[in-house]
Structure 1
């Protein structure tokens, strides 16, 4: 299958890219800065999703079967920030995490209608269900909305063989989190995970691979939790 994967340069995205390619899929990967064969696009730019989609379609020979929305930002803003800082943080997070993924999903739906169907896999977060820290209201809100978009696409387009899934990781080992786990916050994080460890990026990548290519059609609308039972619903 031909797959567009956003945020493919590191962490969960890089693990998903490896898993998908190892399974024989052709992947157009994206990152903000490009490089290493990735398509560059800054998803904070409202015009970027369409440019990225068009470049990916071209790179993949005119057909995309699966869209994986993995790119996102996790940037803190305090409740005591100035109004301008608060609004800027909310705007950027919603633009990158929600608007860009929704724009790409809309383009995917339009494209899938011309080829007989396709799949959308959204990488949301445990925070979309249980919330996040007091510095991340906007992040939790963006991921909760991403879950709602996933369910809406699943309900709205299943009859056209357009399927939608999401994965909601909890704390995951990536290049960005290894230091935190090893020093300041590791013991506290592990204490609330019944499994006794955080997820690996490879585990989340494997879930993405399965949702993109192996999950049965009747599972459309499914949200897969991957948090070591730190939040169950």
Structure 2
């Protein structure tokens, strides 16, 4: 029986690499992207879940929350603009993921099936981020805490949760950020001397989705070239 996998944010970068890593002979993947709906709209996660549930024949075994935004939000902005940006990042990066996690847990509880959640967080969850990215760091820290909570709450029911925390990864967002802040200086902060490739994150996501032992539930895995060692 194939493993049915739902991935968000799969149009490019890490999400696309994760989707491509699965063998279609043993998995069936519904890879969602922004064209399927704007996660800034609180009504969209439910619609995406229902659509994926139908596309995957009424069974989802693995949820991979990868969709996210990384947008600057200087504290000097007018109050209403700063708050709107904060709320947008929280809604897309954390609340939408929480909504999908909730639906996944309830699905597995109702069916009595085991299931896995893989949340793509960030090094920023532990290390923090730039002065213009308070909201991003907070959203990813929330994702890590949520993952640990799910793991602790539902392990006995065969529901497992993992978080992956990349540092800079060579995606469109990271390339723009590196260029805007002097890539050489930022690379000097990475002992490995390079940012991660999306395929490296995909290897870890695939492992968590399919092969990680149950006792690993709640694990938070780093992919940052030793730029932040916990």
Tell whether the structures are fold-level matches, with TM greater than 0.5.
yes
Partner of 2:93: 97
Q: What is the Cα deviation at residue 55 of structure 1?
A: 0.5
Q: For 1:118-129, list aligned pairs within 5 A.
A: 118-129=115-126
Contact 1:21 1:27 in 2 (8 A): no
For the pair 1:32 / 2:34, whether they are aligned, the reply is yes
Unaligned runs of 5+ in 1: 34-39
Q: For 1:105-124, list aligned pairs within 5 A.
A: 105-113=101-109, 114-124=111-121
Equivalent in 164, 188, 193 of residue 191 of structure 1:
188
Deviations, residues 109-142 of structure 1 (Å, cap 9, x unaligned): 0011114210000000000001000000000000
For 2:99 and 2:62, the matched residues in 1 are separated by 15
Residues 149 and 23 (structure 1), Cα distance of their counterparts in 2 relative to 1, 3 Å cut = farther
Residues 90 and 184 (structure 1), Cα distance of their counterparts in 2 relative to 1, 3 Å cut = closer
For the pair 1:18 / 2:20, whether they are aligned, the reply is yes
Residues 190 and 23 (structure 1), Cα distance of their counterparts in 2 relative to 1, 3 Å cut = farther
Unaligned runs of 5+ in 2: none
Alpha-carbon RMSD across the aligned residues, in angstroms, is: 1.4
Residues 83 and 178 (structure 1), Cα distance of their counterparts in 2 relative to 1, 3 Å cut = closer
Contact 1:68 1:121 in 2 (8 A): yes
Contact 2:70 2:173 in 1 (8 A): no
1:199 partner SS: coil
Residues 59 and 156 (structure 1), Cα distance of their counterparts in 2 relative to 1, 3 Å cut = same
Equivalent in 149, 152, 165 of residue 146 of structure 2:
149
Equivalent in 132, 137, 140 of residue 134 of structure 2:
137
